[in-house]
Structure 1
């Protein structure tokens, strides 16, 4: 018997019924499905946040895991409902860029637009494709249905990529990719973007130094995080609140 993990990433939150209904649809099709919540409360409507969290997580899952992603502010429009088969995984969700960084990195092999009447629930109403389109597609994949049976081959239209920082001798313009529940701020800065970790920085009139761990931080500092990007952190506090910044913001970092 084929058993594949289905990992859900949505912005529905835990206080609503939406995630539960999607799981019910999956189990009605495949009672043996292994379903887990990767993220239930991604930032509402935020493609950049969901794309980052998916990209940061997918590679730690078993071979042929199905990632079911519903952060879909364009639901009901002409945006495509997709299944992407990569070298090691499947990604199911809207064609709005949210799937692309992870799928591209793993190596895209084929892409299908979900159109099969055997897959899409009857009486689809256009406001809850997580239930009516994406959940049944993931369920049938988990039973071993080939990707081509879900619809017709297509091309990805929205190929979102994480923005590159703008760096010169005196400053860095960075983008906030994610703010976690602790208020740690993930920036689009990789190790190669900061060659000298002894340098000091100023952000919104606040001095910042690079440290190896959270515990070493006194005040605001930067730490190279587990996702492979630098993070602004405040030891046992919220860097996001201190700096009044959120996901998607651009910030100026002065190099001292």
Structure 2
């Protein structure tokens, strides 16, 4: 099968940036298939980029190389990295944008991209997507081993924003709001396996605390929206395995004033 390389950026499509990245990839690896995940990530929104990547990455063929450029720190001391997981490669800045997906798939190897042999001859300080990340993806697609790109890094050396971590302490799960969709559903960074760890099952009621708003409420944990009456709150595991807070045919976000980045604390009701 031809190598597959995906692109996920906050570039939009009116400028030449995406085309330049594709041109670099194809000039190095003409047989590559390039797929656009999205170029409409909100500008500089690393959290949103990480969320979209975490939703989409797993549906691509094994061995796909995912390139992510949501990079407000471009040109600074932040490192360009490549992560090999059980099934994929992830390339982008060391700012946390790769970690929701890479952690979930299981990190096997991390390299800082430092070898100029696998970059463009001239490196812009403002466009590493074209000059570093796109060439790295193309050379990996051609079979260049990761050890040739640069020094190995430990997972503990990576930049880990708060949205990439969930704390489970006893019977308490603490995470945060990762995304709010167009229906006003509140998507947290808490995954189904976190609920399993503290014995939460469908049919139970959850105590949801939103400490930034001073709100505590009990909500049923159900399989889908229709298990509660219209206008009632609920919680469920969404189609991407995240814990979602919702209102049947309503907006949880609007009712409670929830914003992205707010803390969410989950416990079982007594």
TM-score, reference length from structure 2: 0.77
Q: Distance in 2 between matches of 1:79 and 1:251?
A: 29
Match of 1:164 among 154, 164, 167: 167
Match of 2:205 among 199, 202, 225: 199
* Contact 2:205/2:219 (<8 A) preserved: no
* 1:93-128: CA deviation from partner (whole Å, max 9, x where unpaired): 111222234334433333222223332223322111
* 1:143-176: CA deviation from partner (whole Å, max 9, x where unpaired): 2222233x212215225342226786xx975411
* Count of residue pairs brought into register by the alignment: 252
Deviates more, 1:39-48 or 1:5-14: 39-48
* Contact 1:100/1:159 (<8 A) preserved: no
Secondary structure (helix, strand or coil) at the match of 2:116 reads: coil
Partner of 2:17: 18
Unaligned segments of structure 1, at least 5 residues: none
Q: How far did 1:138 drift?
A: 0.8
Q: Distance in 2 between matches of 1:94 and 1:80?
A: 6
The residue correspondences of 1:96-175 to structure 2 (distance < 5 A) are 96-149=95-148, 151-156=149-154, 157-160=157-160, 161-164=164-167, 174-175=175-176
Matched, 1:214 2:214: no
* Contact 1:209/1:222 (<8 A) preserved: yes
Change in 2 beyond 3 A, CA 1:173/1:77: same
* Contact 1:22/1:131 (<8 A) preserved: yes
Change in 2 beyond 3 A, CA 1:116/1:87: same
* 1:55-100: CA deviation from partner (whole Å, max 9, x where unpaired): 3433332111101111212111111111222332211111122223
Change in 2 beyond 3 A, CA 1:251/1:107: closer
TM-score, reference length from structure 1: 0.81
Matched, 1:37 2:36: yes
Unaligned segments of structure 2, at least 5 residues: none
Secondary structure (helix, strand or coil) at the match of 1:188 reads: strand
Deviates more, 1:63-72 or 1:98-107: 98-107
Q: How far did 1:6 drift?
A: 0.7
Deviates more, 1:121-130 or 1:15-24: 15-24
Matched, 1:233 2:246: yes
Deviates more, 1:137-146 or 1:59-68: 137-146
Matched, 1:187 2:188: yes
Deviates more, 1:4-13 or 1:238-247: 238-247
